Structure 1
Amino acid sequence: MGLNVSNRQISLELGVSEKTAQTMTEQMRTEIKNNRPKTTLSGEVEFDEVYVVSGHKGHPASVKKGRKPRRRRLKGARGRGTLEKEKPPILGMIQRGGEVVIRMLENVQQKTIRPIIEKYVAKGTTTYTDEYDIYSQLNNWGYERHSVCHSAGEYARDDDGDGFCEVHVNTMEGFWSLLRSWLRPHRGISQEKLPAYLAFFRGGTQYQKMGAWIT
């Protein structure tokens, strides 16, 4: 699992059926998700979100009634998605030099992200975001916010004049790049199972390999 091989390959190497291999890996991912250690981010924390196309693979009872069948592979709607549109957003919060927290969301609204931010990020933390307006209330929620405007071609900025561009979300965006690459071999993960995969990626071998890069 740490090598991110398929259940079929795991079944061949362990000499068990593919169904058994799937049951074993699902159980391990679920246990990791259910036993995540308490995390508090502080200091300097970057916020960003990514959208993953994810339907109800293997869960036909969860498919919305009346939805037309798909003729080809699952495609999410353009732009920012929601859980209902089968393109759930994932909120990422990464402490520079520290840990990362990622959570699948129902939608990208302030009332959705606020409880998560307040649960995992200490008050008074310096935060860095892009220009997306869901983060516009961070100052009112007790955080110091600095942002870059990607739509204007700005990706990093030096606010204090020390020659170092400290205002950016490049660390979180680099994390997303690794996550996308890690998810690709699984060829579609259902909404029901995606949180367990995210927890495994965050807390498993792949995250440990990233340690030196993050710090």
Structure 2
Amino acid sequence: MINTNFKSVLELLQTFSTEQVCIDYLEQMRWGGIIESPFDSESKVYKCSKNRYKCKNTGKYFNAKTGTMFENTKVGLQKWFLAIWLVTSYKKGITSIQLAKDIDVTQKTAWFLLQRIRSCFGIENSNELEGIVECDETFIGGKNKNRHKDKKAKKAQGRNYTDKVPVMGMLQRGGKMNAFVITDTRKNSIQPLIYKYVSQEATQLISDEWWGYDGLDKNYNHLVIDHSRKEYVSLQDGTVHTNNIEGCWKILKSSVSGMYNHVSRKHLQKYVDEFLYKFNLREISDSDKFKYLILNSDVRTRYKDLIFIENCNKLQIIPKSCT
């Protein structure tokens, strides 16, 4: 087994010095030495030339990349692995322009690699939360005060502006966080996520006074902080607040607005997932973040689907550089 406890880009490149070394590593991570057909797990497998295998029952050929984010790309695994390392280790992310320079590919190719990698980050966005759980929403989009008078957005029903996208999050204090792009901040959008991911055995469920949380006290020990009255920490109990999740929103917004030119509404969840992957794995090393993503790289994203999504309605962010 290849030693992947590397601590720098140099060590990574020294470890994955050839394409064959990368292929052997991917095979080991996917199959652990026992090759399994992605088309029929019970089928006998024949080894063929050029790192290919044949599924006896289906007659189909496959390799270590089949069914993963690496499938059908001309970019070598060495560049893929370097891209994964850079994306998972950079706290605020990396743009496709910078990645293109770092791994010597076109900006279009770098963008495609980034979107495929981000599609795998969702593995850290389905945690069961317990203990003390903070709930809150935020809105991603350009600052209305920075717009020209003729282009200022009007308030929509509820809390957000018409050109901003709401994101709802749940944070287990001292633990992990889940967050999801939602259509609005009404009760029907917020509460199903809480019931799905927050255990009803949770010690406390803390939120602000927004009416979208009304009724949760029937199934949770629901505590409310009334921000409308300038209350940010309970006067009766200093542990009752939503300051931790609000701090997480600041990090997410800083990453999005500080790094990217624009984020499509359809793509926004991927950027949220990227933030959560790094936040939830904050206690482990960069090499372990790398290995964890390789182990969960079986998410196939097609370029034509990404282009279709990219042409949908876009959410404008403070300009800095391209995504």
What TM-score do the two structures reach when normalised by structure 2? 0.53
Output the amino acid matched with 2:271. Y
After superposition, the CA RMSD in angstroms is 2.5
Higher RCO, 1 vs 2 (CA within 8 Å, ≥6 residues apart): 1
- Structure 1 Cα separation of the partners of residues 119 and 153 of structure 2: 26
Output the amino acid matched with 1:7. S
Residue of structure 1 aligned with 2:186, choices 109, 114, 118: 109
Cα shift at 1:112: 1.3
| Structure showing greater Rg | 2
Structure 1 residues 75, 122: CA separation in 2 closer, same or farther (over 3 Å shift)? farther
CA contact (8 A) 1:158 1:166 kept: no
Alignment size in residue pairs: 186
CA contact (8 A) 1:92 1:102 kept: yes
CA contact (8 A) 1:77 1:87 kept: no
In structure 2, the residue matched to 1:198 is 272
Matched, 1:118 2:209: no
In structure 2, the residue matched to 1:61 is none
CA contact (8 A) 2:175 2:280 kept: no
CA contact (8 A) 1:53 1:76 kept: no
CA contact (8 A) 2:225 2:233 kept: yes
In structure 1, the residue matched to 2:133 is 45
Cα shift at 1:77: 3.8
- Structure 2 Cα separation of the partners of residues 48 and 77 of structure 1: 22
- Structure 2 Cα separation of the partners of residues 24 and 156 of structure 1: 43
CA contact (8 A) 1:128 1:167 kept: yes
Residue of structure 2 aligned with 1:182, choices 231, 235, 255: 255
Q: Secondary structure at the match of 1:129?
A: strand
In structure 2, the residue matched to 1:63 is none
List gaps (5 residues or longer) in structure 2: 1-86, 285-323
Map 1:1-215 → 2, pairs under 5 A: 1=87, 2-3=89-90, 4-33=93-122, 35-36=123-124, 38-53=126-141, 76-78=153-155, 80-81=159-160, 85-125=162-202, 126-140=204-218, 142-159=219-236, 165-184=238-257, 185-204=259-278, 207-209=280-282
Output the amino acid matched with 1:47. C
Output the amino acid matched with 1:186. Y
- Structure 2 Cα separation of the partners of residues 169 and 49 of structure 1: 11
Cα shift at 1:97: 1.1
